[in-house]
Amino acid sequence: MNSVTEIKNGRLYFDGCDTVELAKEYGTPVYVMSYTEIAKRLTELKEEFTDKYPGNRVAYASKAFCTVGMYEILKKFDACIDVVSGGEICAAEKAGFPAEHVEFNGNNKLPSEIDMAVNYGVGRIILDGLQEVPLIEAACKKYNKKMNIMIRITPGVAASTHDYIVTGKKDSKFGIPLEEDVFMPIVKQVVESEWLEFTGLHMHIGSQLFENDAYLKALNVLMDWAAKIKKEFDADVKEVNFGGGYGVTYINEERKDYSFFMDPMMELLQKRADEIGIACPVAVIEPGRSIVAEAGLTLYTVGQIKDIPGIRKYVSIDGGMGDNIRVALYQAKYKGIVANKADEPTTEKVHLCGKYCESGDILINDMPVPASIEMGDIVATFSTGAYGYSMASNYNNNPIPGVVLVKEGKSAWMVKPQTYEQIIQNNVVPDFI
């Protein structure tokens, strides 16, 4: 449990709010996000990265949790954002996010998304496709704007995490391959373009990482290419983006401080820049999960309970894989608690399962619960703030739950829950049926 989570009078409190009362007031299932926890992480990033190394930037990876309210919080902390779609750009525009603080990533940016990004005036586009240059140039020409370009490399380093969230190994759909005859012609196109400004290199090696060696290895590879670029085109890598991926606590993983990753990275960056004979590049990081994961929990109401004698007990809740696909997708593990019986001893183990029509719709295997667990109880699952809401689906036409923001005992909607009507609002019946 983190600093905003406490148990009082037998109930679970989150950022000063009684979660049982939240469930009553807002209904379930519902995502709850703690402003205090988000602010704490953004403050750590300021202290350990942007204040400590002036000029550096934090570009929050929107994909972890993208809402207009989240962008408003990030604005307050002077953070930048990394976006990967027209939808994220649209939310940023709605929040009035300063365009120059937006960095556009993605392995297949659509021409329409590139058009949107250039029109908005985003600060940087991270090149991640072999045929992307002419698309960006066309949009720049249309709007008569130049664009800063970072080039995402595939460093060929395998980070140790779930295979689906490894991105830096050679066999990956992300990044430009580091083959002389593939990579250098792309750099040349950027360096020589009248519309593009070669700004630097980008890497992202994976997610939910707790060790620094893969980052350092990848940075060394990146700087080898910075040296080649300097030599061949006399172009300086002015910025280096280290990507995101800093691990968080779901069960009992030991979360590392940002400085654990950042200090050795900055030291290596400086050393390699000195060797190449360029100024130390500005460093940018793209943390997503480490800012919002532990700032979120999800509240559910217990419904049917099925006891299969001698086998196990299934406790069903009113959400499941539609609001948290991570268990089915990555075998992710979560902790949970019966929020209205938070200080009762947990003497039983049950499978906490969702209401979706999939056998794999189990949120927690062998969750310890009080023997008194019954219909109507409120269950909270922890560390659901990242990639929960943002990966939610309408499977079985279940609505996507709303998000409540809590802060020191106050609460308010950040995203209202979807209605049935909204799920089917774009349904049309072709007249030839």
Which residue numbers are catalytic? 357
Q: What does the DSSP assignment read for 177-207?
A: E--HHHHHHHHHHHHH-SSEEEEEEE---BS
Q: Of the listed pieces 38-46, 107-115, 270-278, 282-290, which binds ligand LLP according to CB under 6 A?
A: 282-290
User: Mask 245-264, x = binds ligand LLP (CB under 6 A)?
Assistant: xx------------------
Answer yes or no whether residue 61 interacts with ligand LLP by CB under 6 A: yes
Answer yes or no whether residue 244 interacts with ligand LLP by CB under 6 A: yes
Hey, what are 373's tokens?
Answer: 């667990």
Quote the least distance from Cβ 371 to ligand LLP, whole Å.
Answer: 33
Answer yes or no whether residue 198 interacts with ligand LLP by CB under 6 A: no
Q: Of the listed pieces 11-19, 239-247, 309-317, 341-349, which binds ligand LLP according to CB under 6 A?
A: 239-247
Answer yes or no whether residue 88 interacts with ligand LLP by CB under 6 A: no
Question: Which strand (E) or helix (H) includes residue 36?
Answer: helix 35-45
Compare residues 2 and 301 and give the one whose CB is closer to ligand LLP.
2
Q: Of the listed pieces 129-137, 240-248, 271-279, 371-379, which binds ligand LLP according to CB under 6 A?
A: 240-248
Compare residues 34 and 411 and give the one whose CB is closer to ligand LLP.
34
| 111 three-class SS | helix
Q: Any idea what the Cα angle at residue 63 is, between residues 57 and 65, rounded to 5°?
A: 95
Q: Of the listed pieces 60-68, 114-122, 185-193, 352-360, which binds ligand LLP according to CB under 6 A?
A: 60-68
Question: What is the rounded CA–CA span in Å between residue 162 and residue 111?
Answer: 31
| 11 three-class SS | strand
Task: Sort 305 into a burial class: Cβ within 10 Å, 0-12 / 13-18 / 19+.
Answer: middle
Q: What does the DSSP assignment read for 342-401?
A: TTS---EEEEEE-SSS-TT-EEEEEEEE-TT--TT-EEEEES-SSSSGGG---GGGPPPP
**Site residues (CB under 6 A) for ligand LLP, limited to 322-341:** 326, 330
Neighbour tally for 34: CB within 10 Å: 26
Quote the least distance from Cβ 220 to ligand LLP, whole Å.
Answer: 19
Q: Of how many residues is the chain composed?
A: 433
Of 142, 143, 171, 140, the residue nearest 157 (C-alpha): 171
Q: What does the DSSP assignment read for 311-329?
A: TEEEEEES--TTT-THHHH
Q: Any idea what the Cα angle at residue 357 is, between residues 364 and 321, rounded to 5°?
A: 40
Question: What is the rounded CA–CA span in Å between residue 139 and residue 360?
Answer: 44
Answer yes or no whether residue 105 interacts with ligand LLP by CB under 6 A: yes
Q: Are the beta carbons of 22 and 299 closer than 8 angstroms?
A: yes
**Site residues (CB under 6 A) for ligand LLP, limited to 214-233:** none
**Site residues (CB under 6 A) for ligand LLP, limited to 286-315:** 286-290
User: Mask 155-184, x = binds ligand LLP (CB under 6 A)?
Assistant: ----------x-x-----------------
Task: Sort 391 into a burial class: Cβ within 10 Å, 0-12 / 13-18 / 19+.
Answer: middle
Compare residues 4 and 84 and give the one whose CB is closer to ligand LLP.
84
Which residue among 243, 296, 336, 354 contacts ligand LLP (CB under 6 A)? 243
Q: Of the listed pieces 46-54, 216-224, 237-245, 414-422, which binds ligand LLP according to CB under 6 A?
A: 237-245
Q: Of the listed pieces 61-69, 220-228, 232-240, 358-366, which binds ligand LLP according to CB under 6 A?
A: 61-69
Question: What is the rounded CA–CA span in Å between residue 303 and residue 239?
Answer: 53
Answer yes or no whether residue 62 interacts with ligand LLP by CB under 6 A: no
Answer yes or no whether residue 99 interacts with ligand LLP by CB under 6 A: no
Compare residues 276 and 325 and give the one whose CB is closer to ligand LLP.
325
Which residue among 199, 207, 324, 383 contacts ligand LLP (CB under 6 A)? 207
Question: What is the rounded CA–CA span in Å between residue 53 and residue 282?
Answer: 9
Which residue among 13, 120, 387, 389 contacts ligand LLP (CB under 6 A)? 387
Q: Any idea what the Cα angle at residue 224 is, between residues 220 and 229, rounded to 5°?
A: 140
Compare residues 326 and 341 and give the one whose CB is closer to ligand LLP.
326
Answer yes or no whether residue 38 interacts with ligand LLP by CB under 6 A: no
Answer yes or no whether residue 82 interacts with ligand LLP by CB under 6 A: yes
Answer yes or no whether residue 354 interacts with ligand LLP by CB under 6 A: no
Which residues bind to ligand LLP, rule: CB under 6 A?
61, 63-64, 82, 105, 165, 167, 204, 207-208, 243-246, 286-290, 326, 330, 387
